[in-house]
């Protein structure tokens, strides 16, 4: 007799079939009904014990979160909402869980409380559903690109560069932090460090992915990235995962088309393949709405807005046009925003939310940003002021994707690096790509947790990654 996972059993188990199921107790009612969950699905299996023929001592150990193994026979269920149940013949406690000590109760806990119990929170319906979606989305990313003939390229975690130039890198060093070796001028002597130079955790795999694009044509990286930005928001992590495709011979239009197609594919994949988790999260999101003030509520339910995104094309406008819309946003005009709107500002979340949630009411792609607020590698437009950047903004999330057509001209890139004080000694290899067979190319980065947030409807990014890293928090 083989062990069967609950997902498979609920889908295809037939009355009379004898099986072994292992999992954790969710609830135990009336000394008779054990709800078992093994993580394979959001649904519990109802196991029915004949308590008169079971030792009392054993039944007392059937407590919330105890690990158990049951042998039983599948039977049709009289219970509501379940096709089958299991009549228990043998029950074994694999691991006790002391009710006085176990922190999670079968009631609703706050997300804050669950975060403090990151090691136990995947035993809740909400968090386990989110983690399954996370898996589904990651799988769908690989499927999307593989089906298109892209190659998955592993880019390094430890690098010597700061691709985004924001100065938010985490140092990687083996030098003694208290007494590092010094040079004659009294500076830290990185020549003695492990790699013989200053290194940091990567903020983006893009620059290395460009090496892939300029040889393999179409590649993507999907890995962890790290930013020491002190942003304590519901959308920032210090360690997050990023999906970064990079394509030779793509201009900005091609880049936007790919990004839009990919996001729609990912959402569709989850809707089609994870209906039970989505149904649960849809109800959860609807409940959450009730506790919000009217004007902060979504106009649509979770699944409804996912379908809306899939079914409608994203709005595409230039940065200059976006500024015009914001400047003319009546009735409050300029007072409407904390940061006054003028050409050249970096759009804040208040501006982005206005454009996406109030004005267009759908995802928006903004292109051709001022070069001074964007990274050094973006292709310069002929106006001398803007670059071929694109950001994709989503309702409730803000920026979900950032990308660009890359500067392919050696001299323009070299000049821009000089203007921005980026040493050529650090990125000589990157410049080389413009020296040997340069070509138009483009790419973008999708913040993985942000798409998980959008699809799951979770309000805080800390609840869509198993072990969130945020300022002053790396407990688990």
Question: How far is it, in rounded angstroms, from Cα 258 to Cα 352?
Answer: 22
What sections of 198-274 are H helices per DSSP?
Answer: 206-216, 252-273
Number of neighbours of residue 5 by Cβ within 10 angstroms: 16
Phi and psi (nearest 5°) for 221? -115, 155
242 interacts with ligand 4AD by CB under 6 A: yes
Backbone angles phi, psi at 68, to 5 degrees: -135, 160
Q: For residues 291 and 318, what is the distance between their CA atoms, to the nearest angstrom?
A: 37
Distance of closest approach, residue 451 Cβ to ligand 4AD, in angstroms: 8
Would you count residue 399 as binding ligand 4AD (CB under 6 A)?
A: yes
- As measured in angstroms, the least distance from the Cβ of 236 to ligand 4AD is 4
Residue from 401, 452, 464, 465 in contact with ligand 4AD (CB under 6 A): 401
The two counts, helices (H) then strands (E), for the chain are 13, 16
Residue 444 binding target from ligand 4AD, Mg ion, none, CB below 5 to 8 Å by type: ligand 4AD
Reduced to 3 states, what is the DSSP secondary structure of residue 71? strand
Q: In the complex with ligand 4AD, which residue's Cβ is closer, 85 or 162?
A: 162
Residues 6+ apart with CB under 8 A from 244: 155, 204, 205, 206, 209, 220, 221, 222, 443, 444, 445, 446
Of 150 and 240, CB closest to ligand 4AD: 240
Nearer to ligand 4AD, 49 or 400 (CB): 400
Comparing CB distances to ligand 4AD, the nearer of 13 and 443 is 443
Per-residue string for binding with ligand 4AD, 138-167, x by CB under 6 A? -------------------------xx---
CB-nearer residue toward ligand 4AD: 47 or 133? 133
> What would the two tokens of residue 299 be?
């106009």
Q: Where are the beta strands (DSSP E) in 41-146?
A: 45-48, 67-76, 84-95
232 or 273: whose CB is closer to ligand 4AD?
232
Q: Which is nearer to ligand 4AD, 6 or 404 (CB)?
A: 404
As a whole number of angstroms, the distance between CA 243 and CA 229 comes to 19
Residues 442-471 that bind ligand 4AD (CB under 6 A): 443-445, 447, 449-450
Name the one range near ligand 4AD by CB under 6 A: 237-245, 277-285, 298-306, 463-471: 237-245
- Write each residue from 202 to 221 as x if it is in contact with ligand 4AD (CB under 6 A), else as -, in one continuous string: --x-x---------------
Tell which residue, 416, 366, 391, 406, has the closest CA to residue 249.
406
- Residues lying near ligand 4AD in the complex (CB under 6 A) are found at 163-164, 204, 206, 227, 229, 236-237, 240, 242, 244, 399-404, 443-445, 447, 449-450
């Amino acid at each position: 007799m083989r062990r069967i996972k609950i997902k498979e059993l609920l889908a295809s188990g037939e009355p009379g079939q004898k099986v072994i199921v292992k999992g954790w107790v969710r609830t135990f009612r009336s000394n008779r009904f054990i709800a078992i969950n093994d993580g394979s699905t959001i649904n519990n299996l109802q196991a029915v014990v004949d308590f008169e023929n079971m030792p009392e001592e054993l039944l007392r150990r059937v407590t919330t979160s105890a690990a158990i193994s049951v042998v039983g026979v599948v039977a049709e269920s009289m219970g509501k909402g379940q096709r089958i149940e299991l009549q228990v013949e043998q029950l074994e406690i694999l691991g006790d869980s002391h009710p006085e000590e176990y922190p999670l109760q079968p009631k609703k806990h706050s997300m804050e409380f669950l975060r403090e119990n990151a090691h136990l929170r995947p035993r809740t319906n909400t968090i386990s559903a989110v983690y399954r979606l996370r898996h589904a989305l990651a799988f769908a990313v690989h499927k999307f690109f593989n089906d298109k003939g892209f190659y998955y390229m592993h880019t390094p975690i430890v690098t010597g560069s700061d691709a985004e130039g924001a100065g938010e890198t985490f140092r990687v060093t083996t030098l003694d932090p208290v007494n590092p070796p010094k040079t004659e001028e009294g500076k830290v002597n990185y020549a003695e460090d492990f790699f013989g130079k200053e290194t940091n955790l990567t903020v983006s795999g893009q620059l290395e992915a460009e090496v892939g694009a300029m040889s393999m044509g179409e590649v993507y990286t999907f890995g962890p990235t790290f930013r020491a930005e002190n942003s304590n928001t519901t959308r920032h992590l210090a360690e997050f995962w990023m999906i970064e495709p990079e394509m030779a011979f793509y201009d900005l239009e091609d880049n936007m088309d790919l990004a839009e197609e990919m996001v729609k594919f990912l959402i569709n994949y989850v809707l089609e393949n994870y209906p039970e988790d989505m149904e649960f999260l849809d109800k959860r999101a609807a409940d959450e709405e009730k506790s919000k003030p009217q004007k902060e509520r979504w106009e649509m339910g979770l699944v409804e807005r996912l379908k809306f995104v899939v079914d409608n094309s994203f709005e595409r406008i230039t940065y200059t046009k976006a500024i015009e819309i914001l400047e003319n946003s009546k009735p409050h005009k300029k007072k409407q925003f904390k940061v006054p709107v003028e050409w050249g500002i970096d759009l804040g979340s208040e501006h982005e939310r206005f454009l996406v949630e109030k004005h267009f009411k759908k995802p928006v792609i903004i292109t051709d940003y001022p070069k001074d607020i964007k990274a050094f590698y973006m292709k310069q437009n002929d106006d001398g002021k803007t670059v071929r950047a694109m950001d994709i903004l989503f309702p409730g999330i803000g920026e979900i994707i950032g990308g660009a057509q890359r500067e392919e001209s050696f001299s323009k890139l070299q000049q821009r690096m000089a203007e921005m004080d980026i040493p050529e000694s650090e990125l000589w290899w990157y410049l080389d790509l413009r020296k040997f067979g340069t070509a138009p190319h483009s790419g973008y980065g999708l913040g993985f947790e942000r798409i998980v947030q959008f699809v799951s409807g979770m309000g805080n990014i800390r609840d869509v990654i198993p072990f969130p890293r945020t300022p002053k928090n790396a407990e688990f």
